Every structure is written in structure tokens, then in C-alpha cells.
């Protein structure tokens, strides 16, 4: 990890030396020399990071290098802040700048001296490097061999296999199917989920094996050594034929060995297992070795990377292993913890809690069960282990395999992704990490590389996809309409990340148990503390400070702490019951991300303009009524959330209150998110056209006469992905016809709230649209579906008082990707027709307060994939027909394939009250 810290700093220094020519005057030489010294250390650190046998001397040296790199980063940040003073125009500005010149010269000399001292320190650290660090080692080989031994021994017993019946049958079926072409089968999943176990069982199946002329099974692992791998395959193939290995075998190079393998497999039906392929590059090198001779050969690949699996299995023969469900996990645990007796009743609640902590990961369950099988069967002993799981993972030899195998995934990450991954452990256990929030935090921390081709946010999206494809982060759907995605870390993965983070001082999670810890940390996350004060930890070097304890007593400490947070980049106080932000916060010159959502803050400091590096400001659902005028000076601002929702019962922006902002906010041309801004006498709809970098725009109180100007402004936003337009009242018409059909071509989410004379013509040209909400549209007899049915990627359709006609018809072959349909408050609607062949992907239909609809949608029986039908405030004539005992037999037959059918009513006091009808 220290190597990643240094690499991260080196990349930033390289960019600094290329760009900051004027600011670095007087200190450029020192920066270049420090960079040179750190460059010399990087290779040594890479070796140190991989060694299993690191002693205390090695760990101390690595820690010194890491701290020195952090010191350099701090000095550079301070220096650039001092030098980058805003320039003023006119004669007065000239005088002010002249006054600052001596101060700048003094600052340069001061920082040059500090950098000189740091350079000497770095050189001394290099000289003190441990002697063994430069030895030529094969530590990575040892680690990988250790990994292979662990995975095969942990899962070697067939009676340890639980919950894989379907997967075993699937793999066996692919192996024996009558397909003459060579077939590649791939198995993917996170580390420890049982990939090796699954393919090993298939490989040991003699009924399957006898169908092949020859076979071999090899482990690839992280450092592909093609010569050794080919030798292993050749030995296995020759042993199966009972032939001796040639005398000159050891002298053969990779080319010779490839030819031998091809010769042995020529005209043969072979079965080759390639266990643990890590990268696409490795797969491409291996794939060309095994030719297709039309004999029905099989190549089985296991990998943690879904991209590799999808490519290897050609997307058709891919088996993605899931975590065990709760009952399967319990059965597997009991096999290990209680091999010859049932679980004692007094231990069962605690045992089940431990199993839940393993979250269905077989490796963790087996290791935990094995550990507890050797301990006293007392609640006291088991509770001690349960409360100290993080310590056990780090220090208990029985759980060491779990940590080691999961760490292999971490070590394989590129250095920037290592920072991004560890950052996720700052969130509390089981916390749903929202998509945009995570991306903006990574950008604020500087983890995301800036390129000229794409934005940092788009680059961060790629980072996020990479972590998901590597099965390190789990995707979770959070919104009942599927609108939002969130992510979480598996509990065991999170514990491993926390142990690495604390050891490397990357971050610290702070709670009552850790309140006494001290030390220089870069990031702090407070989950449960009661009260914290500045003396608890070294605050001056913090880069992130995140609070998740909504009951935290914080106000008294905020003033004192704010003065210590000068280098802070991220300040997350979401949900904390504070009413004001002290002026000292605006001295955090490095601050990029400020989240005050759901606090009780009533006003922001007038000196907010001093936060010249601020990128994200989130004041959604606070008590703010206005933003300070100085906000228009925050030229680096990229994301701004400035509204509140007064009623959480509805998810349709009925109760949005905008915060007053200066019209000149539209001069902040780096803005990518502006949600919401309130129209003022036609000025905002004109000025908002300056924001050509917007990806997300919400604008409220739009009048009919503003339509043409708004369309003109939207037409300049070539990158727009999400657009929300709200009229002033339910009776106000939105005039949006003037928008060019080709303008919002990238738009993915569109929410229109206001009367429409007709569905805009340009809407059916939005080929990327996934979410559409028409709210208060009150369209007449024209069926709105006819204007949107051709949208090829539409997944969520929300119609609220959108249509005053009597019938909606879903035509055959249309809406092929629609997953969620929500119809609300359309009292004239009395008939829905669903033709066979439409709505092929539908998962849920929600009907709310459609009083005229007294019969089931015609053709609902065709929707075989429908998972939920929810009827809220619907006529009793309809809902009574679906009752399990007293309803209509014919209607129940039509919906018999739907797993969940509910009826209910919405109340302001209790939300949705529902009743299952099936």
C-alpha cells in the first residue's frame, strides 16, 4: 500500500511540474529532486508490499516512506494555496498585488527551506532501507502458492459443498453436451465464494472425465508464468498417458513448450482447467494455446473478474457464483463447528449472528466454523470472538486464510483503485453507498486521474465498474422504482479493508471503542462516538472527515476542530443536528466536498467564497432559505444541490421548495449538477444556457412564456443526462415544443411536471432515455403511449395525472425493456390493454388512485416476468376479485404467476398501508 501512496504522489508531482510553471518558481528544483528520490523507492516498496515475511524493521521503514510522502503532499498543498492568490483588475488591484509581492517571495523561501529539509529526510530514509528489501525474492510466488494451497485444502472435502447443486449440474451439463466445437466455460465470483471448489468437483467426476481423451488442471494466479504453467500441463498430459518426461524438458523455452502442448492435444478431445485467471491479457495469452480441432474439447476458466469471464465464456456459458443464502450458510457452518453434534440451544442465537457476519461467503463460514470448533462451547468465549472479529481476522491464524485470499484481490488493483476501494470502508457496516456520492468523494480526494478526453466523474464511473466487475463491491437497488443504484461492501471484505486502512494510516473508523487511539491519520470516519474533541487524534493532516452518528454532540467541538482542518478535502456532516457553520470552516482552503444535507443549518457564512477549491456543495433538506452572494465566485464548483422536500411520502417533487440563489450562479461554467434552481422573471431560463457542462439540471417555477427561452438554453447543453422541469402550478402549461429533436440526444432521465398540450415531438427521438415521468400533463384523448412506445431503452415509466382519456394500449413488440410502470391519479382511465409480445421485461406494475379502473389490465396473463402488482387506493370492485379466498377464479388465474400482489392505501401519517392478496 505504501507503494501506492508514493505512486499517487509521483503522478501528482509529475502533473504539477508540467503545469504549475509560474507557481513553482523558486521551488521547482526541490520538487524535482524529491520526485527523483521517491521514484528510486517505488520499486523497493512494491517488493515490500508483496512480502509475507515483513519484519518490524521493514514495517517501520515502509511507514517512514509513507509519512514522508504525506508530508510532501501537505507542503505542496500549502504552497500552492499561498501562491495562488486571486488577481484583481484596475489600478487598485495593481497596488494590492504589488503589496503581496514581498510576502510571496518570503513564502517561496520558507517553502523552499521546508522542501529542502524534506528532501534530506527522504534521502536519509532511503539510506536506512533494510538490507533484505533489495534481495531478489520470489515472495509473490510464495504468496500465490500459499493461496493455491489454501483454496484447495479449505474446500477439498466434498461434504463441505453446500448450496451449489444447480451450479454443479450446470457445469456438468456444459461439459457433456454434444457440441463438437471447443467450448469455453467460465466461473466467476468474489474471492472465497467457491469457484475452485466447483470446478474441482467437476474435474474429479469420473463419469465426466472418461468422456475426454486427456485432461489437465493448473492454477494461473496473479503473476502468469507461462513456461511453468505449460510444463505443468505437459507433465499432467504425459502422466495420464503413462509416458516419461523428455530428458531435455527443463531446457525448453515457451515456444517449444507451446508446440509440445499443441502436439499432445492434436485430434484429441481434451479437458483443461485454468484456475484463477486474473486479467484479460492473461486470458488472451492462454486462449491461443488451445486450438479447436472439432472434437468437443472443453476449456474451464475460473476468475474473479467478470470481464474475463464474459469474454472467455463468450457471454453464453458463464456461471456467476452467488453467496449462500441464510439457511445454506447455517448448514455449512454447523458442519464445521459441530461435526458430530447439533448446535447447543444456548449458543444458537450467537452462532447465527456470526454466520450472518460472514454474509454467505463460504470461505469465511468454513474458517469461522473451524475456529469455533476448537474453542470452548460457552457463550462467554464465543461472544469474545464475535465482538473482536476485526482483530481476529488480523491476528488469529485460523482466520488468516480468509484475509489472505481477499487481500489478493486488493493487491491486484491498480494503485488508484486501491485508494478508491479502501475509501469505501469509511462508510458504516451495511451502509448503502450512493452512486454519485461515491464518485464525487473520489474526485474530491484526488483519486481520479484527469484527462482531456473525459471528465473526472466519467473516469470515476469506469473505476466503479472495475471494482464491481472484480466482485469487490456489490450492487444494490435502493429505490422501489429502481431509479437509484447504491453499493455496499461485504462485511468480511470491509473488515479486511479496515485492517489494511488502519495499518497504513489511510483512514480510521472512530467509535467509542476506539476513542483512545492516537496517531497521524489521513481520513476519519465517525460512526458512533457520543462526543469527540480535537485532542483525540492528530487532526492537522486530515483529508476527509465524515460523520455518520446522527446523535453526535458536535456543535461545541466544531469551532475548535475547524481551525485544525486546513488541509481537509472532504467534510461530510450529513444528518448531524447542527444549526450553524462557523466562519472558520471557510479557512479550509483545500475543501472540495461539503455535505450538509439533512442538517438544521439555517445559513452559510458570507465568507463561503473563500473555498476556492470547492467542487460539491450539498445543502438539500436543510433549513437554508438563501445562499450567500459570494457563492458565484466558486469557479471550480461542479455539483450543487439546493432544495428541500417538505413531504417524504411522495417521490414526485410535489413538495419541493427552492433555495434563493443569485442569478449570477449561471456564470459558474464548470457546473455539472444544478438541482434545483428557481426561475425568476425570465432571467434564469436565459442565463442557464451558459452552463454548457451540465449533466443534471432541475428548474422550478417555469411559466408558459418561458418555454421558448428555456428550449434555447437546453439546446446548448450537449452533455445533459438528467432534466427536471417543474411548472409554477398544476394549471401552468409547459411550452417545450421549440426544443430541437437532436439537442438532448444523451438524455437518460426526463421529468416534466406541468400541463402539456401534447407530448413533445422530440421526445420519441431520445434513444438513450431510461426514465420518463409525465406529471400533471393532463393530456386529452391522445394516448401518450403512442408517442413514446418506440423509445428503445425506456425502463421506468411514471404517469401521474398525465392522461385524461379512457384507454391505454401497450402495443405488440413495444416497451421491450420497461421494468417498472407507475400509473397514478388518472380517474378517467377505465381500460388497459396489454397485447401479447409487449412489456417483455416488466417486473412491477403500480396502480394508484385510478378510480375508473375496475377490471384487470387486459392481457396481464402474458406478462410472465411480472414480480409484483401493487394496487393503492384502487376500487374495491378490482381488488376484491383478487382475494385468495373470495375473489374471482378467472381473475386469480390471470395473475396466478405473479409472486406478490398487494393492495393498500396511502396516508400522510403512516405512508403506504398494504395487504397481501395472494
| pLDDT in the model for residue 908 | 53
| pLDDT in the model for residue 793 | 94
| pLDDT in the model for residue 805 | 92
Domain boundaries 507-614, corresponding CATH code: 3.80.10.10
Are 230 and 254 a contacting pair, CB within 8 Å? Answer: yes
CA angle 173, 175, 181 (to 5 degrees): 120
How far apart are alpha carbons 916 and 343 in whole angstroms?
36
Q: Is 595's pLDDT higher than 90? A: yes
How far apart are alpha carbons 320 and 306 in whole angstroms?
8
141-320, CATH topology level: Rossmann fold (3.40.50)
Q: Which of 41-45, 224-228, 695-699, 819-823 has the lowest mean pLDDT?
A: 41-45
Q: Is 577's pLDDT higher than 90? A: no
List the chain domain ranges: 2-137, 141-320, 326-400, 413-504, 507-614
| pLDDT in the model for residue 474 | 84
How far apart are alpha carbons 389 and 706 in whole angstroms?
60
Q: Which of 182, 359, 191 is nearest to 275 (CA)?
A: 191
Per-residue pLDDT tens for 405-457? 788 788 888 888 999 999 999 998 888 899 999 999 999 999 998 777 789 99
Q: Which of 694, 591, 686 is nearest to 640 (CA)?
A: 694
Residue predicted with more confidence, 135 or 616:
616
Q: Which of 807, 799, 845, 840 is nearest to 823 (CA)?
A: 799
413-504, CATH topology level: Arc Repressor Mutant, subunit A (1.10.10)
Cβ-proximal residues to 156 (8 Å cutoff; 6+ apart), any chain: 200
Q: Which of 11, 76, 62 is nearest to 416 (CA)?
A: 11
Residue listed under C-alpha cell 464491481: 468
| pLDDT in the model for residue 300 | 94
Per-residue pLDDT tens for 480-518? 444 457 888 888 888 888 888 888 888 888 764 454 444
Task: Classify 871 as helix, strand or coil.
Answer: strand
Q: What share of the chain is helix, strand, coil (3-state, %, to 5)?
A: 40, 15, 40
| pLDDT in the model for residue 92 | 46
Q: Is 114's pLDDT higher than 50? A: yes
How far apart are alpha carbons 223 and 228 in whole angstroms?
11
Lookup: cell for 101: 509581492
Burial of 266 by CB count in 10 Å (0-12 exposed, 13-18 middle, 19+ buried)? exposed
Residue predicted with more confidence, 235 or 399:
235
Task: Classify 183 as helix, strand or coil.
Answer: strand
Lookup: cell for 455: 471528465
| pLDDT in the model for residue 137 | 39
**Nearest-10 Cα torsion for 363, 368, 371, 376:** -160
Per-residue pLDDT tens for 844-880? 999 999 999 999 999 999 999 999 999 999 999 898 8
| pLDDT in the model for residue 394 | 65
Cβ-proximal residues to 68 (8 Å cutoff; 6+ apart), any chain: 118, 121, 122, 125
Q: Mean pLDDT across the stretch 820-845? A: 94
Q: Mean pLDDT across the stretch 599-611? A: 94
Q: Is 98's pLDDT higher than 60? A: no
Q: Is 370's pLDDT higher than 90? A: no
Kind plus residue range of the DSSP H or E element containing 749: strand 749-753
Per-residue pLDDT tens for 462-484? 999 899 888 888 887 644 444 45
Q: Which of 9, 338, 300 is nearest to 167 (CA)?
A: 300
Please list the alpha-helical segments (H only) found in 128-192: 139-154, 165-176
CATH topology identical between 413-504 and 507-614:
no
Are 796 and 482 a contacting pair, CB within 8 Å? Answer: yes
| pLDDT in the model for residue 649 | 41
pTM > 0.85: no
Q: How sure is the predictor about 906, in pLDDT bands with cuts at 50, 70 and 90?
A: low
Q: How sure is the predictor about 94, in pLDDT bands with cuts at 50, 70 and 90?
A: very low
Amino acid at each position: 500500500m505504501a507503494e501506492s501512496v508514493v505512486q499517487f504522489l509521483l503522478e501528482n508531482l509529475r502533473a504539477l511540474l508540467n503545469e504549475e510553471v509560474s507557481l513553482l518558481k523558486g521551488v521547482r528544483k526541490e520538487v524535482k529532486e524529491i520526485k527523483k528520490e521517491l521514484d528510486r523507492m517505488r520499486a523497493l516498496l512494491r517488493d515490500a508490499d508483496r512480502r509475507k515475511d515483513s519484519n518490524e524493521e521493514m514495517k517501520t521503514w515502509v511507514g517512514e516512506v509513507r509519512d514522508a510522502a504525506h508530508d510532501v503532499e501537505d507542503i505542496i498543498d500549502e504552497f500552492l494555496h499561498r501562491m495562488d492568490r486571486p488577481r484583481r483588475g484596475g489600478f487598485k488591484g495593481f497596488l494590492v498585488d504589488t503589496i503581496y509581492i514581498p510576502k510571496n517571495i518570503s513564502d517561496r523561501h520558507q517553502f523552499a527551506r521546508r522542501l529542502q529539509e524534506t528532501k534530506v529526510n527522504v534521502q536519509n530514509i532511503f539510506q536506512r532501507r533494510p538490507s533484505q528489501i533489495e534481495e531478489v525474492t520470489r515472495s509473490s510466488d510464495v504468496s500465490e502458492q500459499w493461496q493455491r494451497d489454501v483454496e484447495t485444502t479449505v474446500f477439498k472435502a466434498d461434504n463441505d459443498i453446500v448450496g451449489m447443486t444447480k451450479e454443479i449440474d450446470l457445469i456438468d451439463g456444459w461439459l457433456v453436451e454434444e457440441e463438437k466445437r471447443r467450448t469455453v466455460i467460465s466461473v466467476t465470483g468474489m474471492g472465497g465464494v467457491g469457484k475452485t471448489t466447483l470446478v474441482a468437483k467437476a474435474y474429479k467426476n469420473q463419469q465426466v472425465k472418461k468422456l475426454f481423451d486427456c485432461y489437465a488442471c493448473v492454477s494461473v494466479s496473479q503473476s502468469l508464468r507461462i513456461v511453468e504453467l505449460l510444463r505443468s500441463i505437459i507433465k499432467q498430459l504425459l502422466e495420464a498417458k503413462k509416458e516419461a518426461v523428455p530428458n531435455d524438458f527443463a531446457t525448453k523455452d515457451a515456444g517449444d513448450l507451446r508446440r509440445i502442448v499443441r502436439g499432445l492435444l492434436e485430434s484429441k478431445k481434451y479437458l483443461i482447467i485454468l484456475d484463477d485467471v486474473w486479467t484479460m491479457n492473461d486470458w488472451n495469452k492462454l486462449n491461443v494455446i488451445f486450438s479447436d480441432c472439432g472434437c468437443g474439447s472443453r476449456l474451464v476458466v475460473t476468475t474473479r473478474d467478470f470481464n474475463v469471464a464474459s469474454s472467455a465464456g463468450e457471454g453464453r456459458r458463464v456461471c456467476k457464483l452467488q453467496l449462500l443464502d441464510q439457511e445454506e450458510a447455517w448448514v455449512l457452518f454447523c458442519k464445521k463447528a459441530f461435526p458430530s453434534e447439533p448446535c447447543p440451544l444456548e449458543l444458537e442465537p450467537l452462532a447465527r449472528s456470526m454466520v450472518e457476519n460472514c454474509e454467505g461467503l463460504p470461505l469465511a463460514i468454513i474458517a469461522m466454523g473451524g475456529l469455533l470448533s476448537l474453542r470452548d462451547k460457552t457463550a462467554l468465549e464465543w461472544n469474545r470472538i464475535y465482538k473482536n472479529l476485526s482483530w481476529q481476522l488480523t491476528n488469529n491464524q485460523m482466520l488468516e486464510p480468509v484475509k489472505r485470499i481477499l487481500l489478493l484481490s486488493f493487491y491486484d488493483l491498480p494503485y488508484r483503485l486501491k485508494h478508491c476501494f479502501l475509501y469505501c470502508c469509511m462508510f458504516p457496516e451495511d451502509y448503502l453507498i450512493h452512486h454519485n456520492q461515491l464518485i464525487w468523494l473520489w474526485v474530491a480526494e484526488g483519486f481520479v486521474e484527469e484527462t482531456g478526453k473525459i471528465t473526472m466523474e466519467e473516469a470515476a464511473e469506469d473505476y466503479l465498474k472495475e471494482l464491481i466487475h472484480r466482485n469487490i463491491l456489490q450492487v444494490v437497488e435502493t429505490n422501489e422504482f429502481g431509479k437509484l443504484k447504491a453499493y455496499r461492501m461485504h462485511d468480511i471484505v470491509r473488515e479486511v479493508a479496515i485492517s489494511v486502512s488502519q495499518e497504513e494510516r489511510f483512514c480510521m473508523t472512530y467509535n467509542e471503542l476506539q476513542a483512545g487511539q492516537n496517531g497521524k491519520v489521513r481520513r476519519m470516519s465517525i460512526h458512533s462516538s457520543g462526543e469527540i474533541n480535537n485532542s483525540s487524534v492528530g487532526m492537522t493532516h486530515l483529508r476527509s472527515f465524515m460523520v455518520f452518528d446522527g446523535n453526535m454532540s458536535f456543535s461545541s467541538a466544531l469551532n475548535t476542530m475547524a481551525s485544525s482542518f486546513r488541509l481537509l478535502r472532504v467534510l461530510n456532516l450529513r444528518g448531524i443536528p447542527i444549526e450553524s457553520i462557523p466562519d472558520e470552516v471557510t479557512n479550509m482552503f483545500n475543501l472540495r466536498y461539503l455535505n450538509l444535507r439533512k442538517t438544521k443549518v439555517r445559513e452559510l457564512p458570507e465568507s463561503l467564497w473563500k473555498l476556492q477549491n470547492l467542487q460539491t456543495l450539498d445543502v438539500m433538506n436543510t433549513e437554508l432559505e438563501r445562499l450567500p452572494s459570494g457563492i458565484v465566485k466558486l469557479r471550480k464548483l461542479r455539483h450543487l444541490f439546493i432544495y428541500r422536500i417538505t413531504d417524504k411520502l411522495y417521490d414526485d417533487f410535489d413538495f419541493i421548495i427552492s433555495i434563493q440563489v443569485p442569478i449570477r450562479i449561471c456564470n459558474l461554467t464548470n457546473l455539472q449538477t444544478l438541482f434545483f434552481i428557481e426561475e425568476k422573471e425570465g432571467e434564469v431560463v436565459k442565463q442557464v444556457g451558459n452552463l454548457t457542462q451540465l449533466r443534471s439540471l432541475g428548474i422550478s417555477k417555469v411559466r408558459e412564456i418561458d418555454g421558448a427561452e428555456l428550449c434555447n438554453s437546453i439546446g446548448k447543453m450537449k452533455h445533459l443526462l438528467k432534466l427536471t422541469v417543474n411548472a409554477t402550478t398544476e394549471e401552468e402549461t409547459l411550452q417545450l415544443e421549440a426544443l430541437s429533436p437532436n439537442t438532448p440526444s444523451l438524455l437518460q432521465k426526463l421529468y416534466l411536471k406541468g400541463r402539456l398540450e401534447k407530448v413533445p415531438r422530440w421526445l420519441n427521438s431520445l434513444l438513450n432515455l431510461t426514465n420518463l415521468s409525465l406529471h400533471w400533463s393532463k393530456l386529452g384523448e391522445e394516448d401518450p403511449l403512442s408517442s413514446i412506445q418506440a423509445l428503445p431503452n425506456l425502463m421506468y415509466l411514471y404517469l401521474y395525472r398525465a392522461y385524461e382519456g379512457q384507454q391505454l394500449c401497450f402495443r405488440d413488440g413495444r416497451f421491450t425493456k420497461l421494468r417498472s410502470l407507475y400509473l397514478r391519479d388518472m380517474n378517467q382511465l377505465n381500460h388497459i390493454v396489454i397485447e401479447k409480445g409487449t412489456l417483455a421485461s416488466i417486473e412491477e406494475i403500480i396502480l394508484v388512485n385510478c378510480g375508473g379502473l375496475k377490471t384487470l389490465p387486459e392481457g396481464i396473463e402474458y406478462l410472465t416476468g411480472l414480480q409484483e402488482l401493487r394496487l393503492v387506493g384502487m376500487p374495491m370492485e378490482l381488488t376484491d376479485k383478487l382475494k385468495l379466498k373470495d375473489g374471482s377464479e378467472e381473475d386469480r388465474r390471470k395473475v396466478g404467476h405473479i409472486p406478490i400482489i398487494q393492495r393498500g392505501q396511502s396516508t400522510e401519517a403512516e405512508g403506504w398501508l398494504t395487504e397481501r392478496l395472494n
